[in-house]
Amino acid sequence: MNFTETKLAEGLWCFEQQGVRSFLLVGEARPLIIDACFGGDLAALCRERGGEPVRLALTHGDRDHVGCMDQFEEVYMHPAEYAHFVAKNGREPAAHPLWEGDRLQAGGYCLEVLHLPGHTPGSIAFLERNKRFLIAGDCVQAAPVYMFGPGRNMAAYRDSLERLWKRRGEFDVIYASHGPLTVPSSLVEELYTFAAEAAAGMLPPPQTLPDPPPAGAGADVRLYKKGSAQFYL
Ligand SMILES: [Zn+2]
């Protein structure tokens, strides 16, 4: 499986594969890769870009984000994600904990961990306050956020987006895992508003599902859309 790569800034790379992304941070401090796509030799790609492939942080445990994780010795995730990881991948994760507020020196960057449950129980995002960007996992994207099936929680997602919205002054650009690579911070408010309505049972008429429908979707799953905010429910 091949990757396409984009240099986002000095020491910051995006690797994309079949609509999902990983991010490599290289520089003075130990390198870090965020998320591990579906498969292929992600470790070799990290090495080519100057990042010894040792440390991997997972935004969450869904299968499209963990495919290459065994290529990395040190794996990090939020402990609230462990059970979801087991449910999705059928094995225990050998992972170190990352908690809300933890700071990671990664390449030339300093990342703050934000715990944003909802899409999954242990979803996390990484905030670079000095460089003013957010690596959001699946929490913020201009593509449908998967909110059907075990582990999803719309009320928790609404609260997470509200907390993130209160910190919108700390970032200008959001790097998303799916859909457009960069999305504006205003999308956080759109998603929050729509999630609050959805959690209260106020949904617009559903859209036509794409063909084929999203992976794992039962016959009752619908696509809802309001502006750039979209959910599979
Ligand atoms: Zn995903």
- Domains of the chain listed by start with CATH number: 4-232 (3.60.15.10)
Is the pLDDT assigned to residue 1 strictly greater than 90?
no
Tell me the CA–centroid distance for residue 65 and ligand 1, in Å.
6
Tell me the CA–centroid distance for residue 166 and ligand 1, in Å.
24
Tell me the CA–centroid distance for residue 158 and ligand 1, in Å.
18
Is the pLDDT assigned to residue 215 strictly greater than 90?
no
pLDDT computed for residue 64 by the predictor? 96
Tell me the CA–centroid distance for residue 20 and ligand 1, in Å.
6
Cα dihedral sign, 94-97-98-102: negative
Tell me the CA–centroid distance for residue 198 and ligand 1, in Å.
20
Q: How confident is the model at residue 200 (pLDDT cuts 50, 70, 90)?
A: very high
**Segment 184-193 mean pLDDT:** 96
Enumerate the β-bridge partners of residue 110: 105
Q: Give per-residue pLDDT as tens, 139-158.
A: 999 999 999 999 999 999 99
Mean pLDDT of the chain: 96
Cα distance between residue 187 and residue 180, in whole Å: 12
Tell me the CA–centroid distance for residue 19 and ligand 1, in Å.
9
Cα distance between residue 217 and residue 58, in whole Å: 23
Tell me the CA–centroid distance for residue 147 and ligand 1, in Å.
11
Amino acid in the structure at residue 220: D
Contacts of 1 (CB under 8 A, 6+ apart): 17, 18, 37, 38, 39, 40
SS3 sequence, the chain? CCCEEEEEECCEEEEEECCEEEEEECCCCCCEEECCCCCCCHHHHHHHCCCCCCEEECCCCCHHHCCCHHHCCEEEECHHHHHHHHHHHCCCCCCEECCCCCEEEECCEEEEEEECCCCCCCCEEEEECCCCEEECCCCCCCCCEECCCCCCCHHHHHHHHHHHHHCHHHCCEEECCCCCCEEECHHHHHHHHHHHHHHCCCCCCCECCCCCCCCCCCCCCCEEEECCEEEEC
Tell me the CA–centroid distance for residue 35 and ligand 1, in Å.
10
Contacts of 11 (CB under 8 A, 6+ apart): 25, 26, 27, 107, 108, 109
Q: Which residues surround ligand 1, an ion (CB under 5 A)?
A: 64, 138
Q: How confident is the model at residue 216 (pLDDT cuts 50, 70, 90)?
A: confident
Q: Give per-residue pLDDT as tens, 47-105.
A: 999 989 999 999 999 999 999 999 999 999 999 999 999 999 999 999 999 999 999 99
pLDDT computed for residue 33 by the predictor? 98
Q: Give per-residue pLDDT as tens, 220-230.
A: 999 999 999 99
- Count CB-CB contacts under 10 A for residue 124: 29
